[in-house]
Structure 1
Amino acid sequence: MIHETSIVGLFLSPLLVSAFFALVASWSLRRFLRAFGMYRYVFHGALFDLALYVILWSAISSLWEIAS
């Protein structure tokens, strides 16, 4: 069962919270990949970034569901 998360009395959907965590993880991972020059092996950077975000969001949502 999915439960809302209360942050200072504001109830948020777990999907919204997991999307935020995925965004933060995506930003940090993209920064890491750019720092080490891995983007030169990527054909389409924006599409790669979107796919990376979707994969991270799916993984975080799955882990969130298992944990609760």
Structure 2
Amino acid sequence: MIGEISIGGVYLPSILLLAIAAVLLTGLASRLLSFAGAYRVVTYRPLVDLALFVLILGLLALLTGPSA
């Protein structure tokens, strides 16, 4: 993962773009979990959604990181 990405001359931090992708993927995963009925065993759904977002963001950061 590099520090900044230039889009039309505007420098954006790469973590911002990863966070936007993570929000989209979290929304998709949340809909799939809801459709599968997995939220019936969860006490507090927003906390599960936040944890899912953090896990997806971390995975994206690891996958886009520098290759050693």
Query: What band does the TM-score fall into relative to the shorter chain?
Result: 0.7 to 0.9
Residues in 1 aligned to 2:22 and 2:14: alpha-carbon distance in whole angstroms: 12
Structure 1 unaligned regions, length at least 5 = none
Instruction: Report % sequence identity.
Output: 34
- Whether 1:48 aligns to 2:43 is no
* 1:1-68 equivalent positions in 2, closer than 5 A: 2-66=2-66
Task: Give the structure with the larger helix fraction.
Answer: 1
Residues in 1 aligned to 2:22 and 2:54: alpha-carbon distance in whole angstroms: 8
Structure 2 unaligned regions, length at least 5 = none
Give the alignment's TM-score, normalised by structure 2.
Answer: 0.86
AA aligned opposite 1:29: A
Runs of 4+ in 1 over 3 A off after TM superposition: none
RMSD, matched Cα: 1.6
Give the alignment's TM-score, normalised by structure 1.
Answer: 0.86
Residues in 1 aligned to 2:66 and 2:23: alpha-carbon distance in whole angstroms: 20
